Structure 1
Amino acid sequence: MTTTPVRAAATAAPWTPAEFTERLRAVTAERYHDRHPFHQRMHQGELSPAELRRWIANRFHYQRHIPVKDALILAELDRPALRRAWLRRIRDQDGTADGEGGIERWLRLGEAAGLTREELWDASRVLPGVRLAVDGYVTFCRLRPPLDAVAASLTELSAPGLMRTRIAAFERHYPWIDPDGLAYFRTRVDQGARDAAQALDLVHAWARTREQQERAVAALTFKCEVLWALLDAVAGSGP
């Protein structure tokens, strides 16, 4: 990569809010992992029970690290109101008591698909490519400024649509999975839309120069690549 685009961004006029939003949405429209061949096969009902369980187990490694990356972002926020708002994401995943939250709902999905909680928590079973992708994302949120880390979370812009598609696909093609196990997906339709709106507002408030705006777009592109790499690892690990 040359330094020319960086110098140009430093002097170029900022995009308008509408232009900036359009560029962010274009990233998820073109690069979000709903386009990955593994997801396409999932939604067409072509995954075997073993493939679906492998995805559930390895995706859990990502799910369990969501509150970790959100805690890293939280530690960088300098206003009580911002911290209170972002803390909601950690509560959504961890719950406020045992038996609550997104991680608990993902464990129930695994059980509905025939996995045990012990199998899901056993990190030694996580594929190397999945581990690398998740570690890369957590490290990104640890080391980069809040603008970059929050912008990376904007994959949520496309998440509600993916959740609706996934629910319909599971109900139609995988009736052997107990419908109660789909609670995580149902919950994330509304939560994802809310989280995307919150993050988009923050990114607009913080990215005031063209260079900052382009950093936000690059961060979102990186997150899409993380999710794509995770699926590459799952799809390439066996029949």
Structure 2
Amino acid sequence: MADEHPLSREDLAAALRGLSARYWDKHPFHVRLHAGGCSPDEVRAWVANRWYYQRRLSQKNAAIIANCPLAEVRRRWVERIAFQDGSGDGEGGLEDWLVLAEAVGLDPAEVRDERSVLPGVRFAVDGYVNFCRTRPWTEGAAAALTELFSPDLMAERIRAWQRHYDWIKPYGFAYFEHRIPVVQRDSEYTLSLVLEHCRSREQQDAALAALSFKCDVLRTILDTVDYAGLRR
């Protein structure tokens, strides 16, 4: 409520971290993916559909930058675009994701042309990008705080996939290996931004709602992939 006292930095940080309970690692498909219960086609469907999320990340980050009046934040946030897009052809997170696609047996060209992206995945990801275009930059930053929960999950994904899916070519793990140290650094920076710039209770509640929304976006991606697999 607008008349409630603002949360302390410590309480806001705890509330944001507490939303890990809504993160997509608890989704039944994700649990099955890490437990070795997915077929090769299901793993490939996850990789092909997650490409669309990866491909839109730089546009999402550009939207946050466009809404942010602070040069020091824009200078730091633009590094995310450089990581994803790379500094030249054949570089960056997007290219690493296409390497993963090849490692799981997909044609990278077909992943790039998005023929396998499901409508529900496209709708959820586009909704996330639109959220970051239309909401204050602090809310876009708060939505990105799923990165608080992702480094350990990515490390576990490498171990789980190596253990359960020995048919995946080892070079496919490059995206996760490159991303883990970057997201560890970015998550702490993003959390400090949200704690610093969300001072009123209204801003704090909006930040929490933004992170909840992002968790819903990620879970919707898995809902869609899982449902499509059931209908095959």
In which range does the TM-score fall when normalised by the shorter chain? over 0.9
Match of 2:142 among 136, 139, 151: 151
Deviates more, 1:52-61 or 1:188-197: 188-197
TM-score where L is the length of structure 1: 0.94
**Matched residues in 2 for 1:228 and 1:179: separation?**
27
Give the TM-score taking structure 2 as reference length. 0.97
Separation in structure 2 between the aligned mates of residue 129 and residue 226 of structure 1, nearest angstrom = 10
Kept in 1: contact 2:48–2:114 (CA 8 A): no
Matched, 1:122 2:113: yes
Partner of 1:194: 185
Distance 1:121 1:159 in 2: 24
Output the CA distance in 1 between the equivalents of 2:14 and 2:192. 14
Matches within 5 A, 1:3-42: 9-28=1-20, 30-42=21-33
167, 171, 174: which is aligned to 2:162?
A: 171
- CA-atom RMSD in angstroms: 0.9
Report Cα offsets for 1:23-58 as digits up to 9, x if no partner: 000012x10000011110011111111110011000
SS class of match (2:12): helix
What 5-or-longer segments of structure 1 have no aligned partner?
1-8
Q: Deviations over 1:115-151 (max 9, x none)?
A: 1121111224210110111011011011001011110
State how many pairs are aligned.
230
Unpaired runs of 5+ residues, structure 2, are none
Identity %: 50
Moved >3 Å (runs of 4+) = none
Q: Distance between the aligned counterparts of 1:66 and 1:45, measured in 2?
A: 28
Secondary structure of residue in 2 paired with 1:18 = helix
Question: SS at 1:65's partner residue?
Answer: helix
Correspondence for 2:196: 205
SS in 1 for 2:67: coil
Q: Which residue of 2 aligns with 1:217?
A: 208
Matched, 1:231 2:222: yes
